[in-house]
Amino acid sequence: MWRPLDPAIMAEVERLLASRTRNIRLKGELERLFQQRSWSRTAKIVRAWMTWVALLDLLTLCLNAILLPKAIVISMLAPASILPPVALATAFVWRRPRANCFQRLALTAGLFLILLSVALVGVSAGGEFYERHLNIMLFVAITAIVIFALPLSWTMTIACYALGVYLVLQLRNPNLSAGSAVAATLFFASGIIATVVARRTMTLLAQKTFLLELRDQGRVAELADANARLELLAKTDPLTGIANRRWMMETLNRLWSERINSGGGIAMLMCDVDDFKNLNDRLGHAEGDRSLVKVAGIIQSSVSRDRDHVARYGGEEFLVVLPGADEREALAIAERIRKSVEAASLPNPASRVAPYVTLSIGVAAKAPGDDLNGPEVLQNQADAALYIAKQEGRNRVVLHKRDRRRASIVKPSSER
């Protein structure tokens, strides 16, 4: 899964992409990420190459034993036996990630011994095999340079010791003058240099592709983050910070379906700030907004955050949904909310109930097995109970009873 990168790293990505491809140099965290991304592919190539080189060496030795004189084959055995164990040991080292310096040493040392083994086979056999195996050694080196996606320093190391072994052994070639040995080395050097340059270009293009992917993934992450913020804004009331009516309706429909399928109950509280218009007229809309924010916080803190849902339904009304709650639990929560708002003593000098902010709450509950057509019915019941609470003097909790003409009223303690 994509993890957003540090802004400083993304800034470095943009800087490198703005420059010319040949000037790309990955450092620090970017270099680590690139190696981490490319290691698996490089390791598979190294292991496959080493395994096939070992198999081909054994196959060639077997064919030589059949086609060549016995004395020549015997002279080839000792140097040829170096290659298979070295190649397989190098492949083993690259089975899993290890320290960078250790893997570099294993690969460069392994390749050196492989190239030396190929060259010494020709030197030991002598004659026409001498120069032929030196050329084969260079061919092996070139294939390694082309195939292995290695850092430039590693590639240069392989190229240098391949040419070095070639030059030293050609200078010792009794059938070749020193001038011819140097000329042949320079000829092959031009080809190897061109191969190194091509390998470097391939590496730069791979690094640029990596940077482009990082930039695209960064933009995708930014877009996802922006979408998440938009989604949060779409379901959040901008004043109080709690859920808005639209999100609550969607949640209520989902919860209702879940409760119907599982046969569980659900309760709803419709809360309304008493005489809120008078508060706005007397103290101003700014003070009214502050009161709504505090009331929303009190309601939110009075319910279970893991289970219950609170939303601003509109204006000074709040809707609370209590999944799994019965009438008794819903009444207890409603009364706790009402008392907490009353205890906060938020100023409302124009209220007809008290000189502070109070709440009227209508409660409706669906018990398991109740036959209700939808959440709108339960909401209408809570709203009807709220209407009765207003009629009965406000600052109280009223429970809707479908089987009675009159709702059950929980009066504030001051009236009991």
Active-site option among 316, 327, 335, 342: 316
User: Helix, strand, coil shares of the chain as percentages rounded to 5?
Assistant: 70, 10, 25
Q: Among this protein's residues, is 316 annotated catalytic?
A: yes
Token pair listed for 327: 């009438």
41 by DSSP, 3-state: which?
helix
**Considering just the CA atoms, what is the radius of gyration of the chain in Å?**
41
Token pair listed for 221: 């992450």
Q: What are the beta bridge partners of residue 312?
A: 318
Token pair listed for 345: 């003593």
Q: How far apart are the first and last CA of the chain?
A: 61
- Contact present, 353 and 393 (Cβ < 8 Å): yes
Q: How far apart are CA 404 and CA 351, in angstroms?
A: 31
Token pair listed for 95: 């089975």
Cα pseudo-dihedral 367, 371, 377, 381, rounded to 10 = -50
Q: What are the beta bridge partners of residue 309?
A: 321
Residues labelled catalytic? 316
